[in-house]
Amino acid sequence: MKTEFYQEMCSAIIAAEKQAAELVMHAHGVMAEKKTGRRDVVTEYDRKVQTLLMELLRKAAPQAHFFCEEMNEQDSLDAEQLFIIDPIDGTMNFVRGFNHSCISVAYAERGKLCASAVYNPYVDEMFSAVAGQGAYLNGRRIHVDDVPLSESVVCFGTAPYDSTLWGRTFSLAEKVIGASLDLRRQGSAELDLCSVAAGRAGLYFELSVSLWDYAAGMLLVNEAGGRCCRTDGSPLPFDGTKTDIAAGSPRALADFLRLAGE
């Protein structure tokens, strides 16, 4: 019965993201506002998308709580029913017209991820997962590509909001580019995780992300046969604190963890 309910939640998330995507695709005159600094920005569309998602998801689960990136909508992470929302992951891409951003929602119960979907409206790719039921792209089952790091393309993030992490970030990047096929810096943590789940990239790493940056993608990677953890191999937190992250196929991730520990 629970699986059936989680599938219903996943369907509700997908429908809500499809509707909210209309706001993204018809955006014009996008103005960025600074949050914590000039690289950390928000737009009126982030807020509009989040408000619409919350409105639509409340209809599917009236008792649900929300943990969202914008407008301080951050209820308890131990809630019986919780939606974790990043209305536009890749806001800088959105502002600058790179057309590589997504809408991300995960559904959790008392800290356990149960369903999620990540939608890239620019290429009409809907990634979805239900706990124990596998990961999908537009309804087609997807899997990680379990090859060594030496045979993998790697996605990474630069932790742009924390300059104290740049040295370690690029030191790791230098190690990884020597051990892999190539690097990609695409500007959306959730879409990088989706690339791992779909077998496009063997690995993704970044030294500072928030829960809404990885919750939906984490379930996708896990359900696609991969693994997500911190860069020292320890479990990712579910307490709302910022964290480092590494996600990949079993072989590529093992290779990366050895490199990161050197």
Report which of 105, 111, 136, 103 is spatially closest to residue 224, judged by C-alpha positions. 136
**pLDDT tens digits for range 107-123:** 999 999 999 999 999 99
The helix-helix angle for 2-25 and 44-60 (nearest 10°) equals 150
Q: What is the pTM of this model?
A: 0.94
Q: 10 Å Cβ neighbour count for 37?
A: 11
What's residue 254's pLDDT?
98
* Strand 65-68 relative to strand 203-209, pairing: unpaired
What's residue 57's pLDDT?
97
**pLDDT tens digits for range 172-215:** 999 999 999 999 999 999 999 999 999 999 999 999 999 999 99
| 8 A C-beta contact, residue 201 and residue 157 | no
* Residues in the chain with pLDDT values less than 70: 1, 29-42, 71
| 8 A C-beta contact, residue 32 and residue 88 | no
What's residue 216's pLDDT?
98
What's residue 131's pLDDT?
97
What's residue 73's pLDDT?
74
What's residue 43's pLDDT?
81
What is the DSSP code (8-state) at residue 74? Answer: B
